[in-house]
Amino acid sequence: MKVSESVNISQTEAPNQPIQGNQRRLRPTVRGVSEPTPAFDAGAVLPPGAEAVLGVLRSAWVVLDSRDRVVRSSPSALPYGLIRANRLRVDTLALLARQVRRDGQVRELEVEVPRGHRGTELLVLEVRLAPLGDDQVLLLAEDQTAVRRLDAVRRDFVANVSHELKTPVGALALLAEAMSGSADDPQAVRRFASRMQHESHRLTMMVQDLISLSRLQSNDPLRQARVINVDDVVAEAVDATHLESEAREIRLEARGQHGLSVLGDEEQLVTALRNLVANAINYSPDHTRITIGVSLVDDVVEISVADQGIGIPERDLERIFERFYRVDPARSRATGGTGLGLSIVKHVAVNHGGEVRVWSSEGAGTTFTLRLPAQQSEWQSITSLPTDNSRAHATTDQEEEHR
């Protein structure tokens, strides 16, 4: 017999209350992560043949003894956030393990656990618990995050894209009709052709951003993570946006700590930072300054982009990371914005186990901060010198102006 459940971490269930089929949607609590992690019981005896079978499983697995202690586990069980200090971190799983041991029934459930010890995104795990031998319990976990994410993308794609694409497509149709009726007026033809080029460029940018966003939602940069030098990310983002800033006489300045590294995908991180810098340029007056700051706070690398622009109204701060949301639609269209740039930034941060924060004051400017888990070796000594980049000048007071 098999019992299926679905659980989420935002609620708790008393550990002494039995689970009744699908009558409740349980949301497990997660144990703290500050406690030490002792070694597992390497001498624990598994049923004959069990160890050979477990060795070839692709799922993350955990074996619990009669006292709910973890005696064996696969390497992936720890990064999945299932275990800590020789115990299951999710209380609901411990409760189900006791029920499996008591009645011998196989149970299944879907559980959400935090992605990384500081991440705000949740991993969706499909978990099965089954008896193993006389008093042990085997837990198997499959990561279903990508599947759930793709389901959400499919649901939202048609509604969002049809709404956003109809404007440039409709404009192109009207302009083509107007051009056809103005064949004997060269000046009007040139004007309509210029508008068509603008709308086609906007359409191209939107399609490119949609493709980028779709890839971010389906690709996990931590599965094949590499060590990324943050200095290189900043330099590439500055280089990619310097033409726009120079045309507006906006000065880009890079400052902060050098030698910091994170794990992930360099292309995604450059895209996110480039979007933040480009966004700052678009919403800043001419002859102003944009600062890209890098710092290490505890075990988190913070990359901030601070401008002296028009700021964001407080009522819009909670929605600016939504797809296609624009604080000022007219300004966004004038600058060629698609409404997807900040959504891409958020997805990159979340995919790397981090987050993005925003501070803003109308008329005083805006600061976006990417917060990413630092590579462990970077928690030691770090230099703090200004960058030596021809387009990134040292500064000392920008950060204070925006706090």
pLDDT at position 118 is 58
Length of the chain: 403
Domains held by the chain: number: 3
193-205 burial: b if 16+ Cβ within 10 Å, else e: eebbebbeebbeb
Read off the CATH number of the domain in which 314 is found. Answer: 3.30.565.10
Residues 97 and 152 in one domain: no
Residues 7 and 139 in one domain: yes
Answer yes or no: are the C-beta atoms of 211 and 205 closer than 8 Å: no
| 77 contacts: CB under 8 Å, gap ≥ 6 | 60, 61, 62, 83, 141
Residues 331 and 238 in one domain: yes
pTM score, two decimals? Answer: 0.51
Residue of 201 and 265 predicted with greater confidence: 265
| 174 contacts: CB under 8 Å, gap ≥ 6 | none
Domain boundary residue, one of 185, 218, 251: 218
Which of 110-124, 173-187, 211-225 shows the highest mean pLDDT? 173-187
Mean pLDDT of 272-281: 92
Domain boundary residue, one of 99, 121, 143: 143
pLDDT at position 383 is 40
pLDDT digits (tens, 9 = 90+) for 213-240: 777 766 677 777 789 999 999 999 999 9
Which domain range does residue 185 map to?
Answer: 147-218
Which of 114-118, 172-176, 247-251 shows the highest mean pLDDT? 247-251
pLDDT digits (tens, 9 = 90+) for 49-71: 887 888 778 888 999 998 889 88
Domain boundary residue, one of 143, 178, 208: 143
pLDDT at position 390 is 37
DSSP 293-320: EEEEETTEEEEEEE--S----GGGTTTT
Give 261's pLDDT tier (boundaries 50, 70, 90).
very high
Answer yes or no: are the C-beta atoms of 62 and 145 closer than 8 Å: no
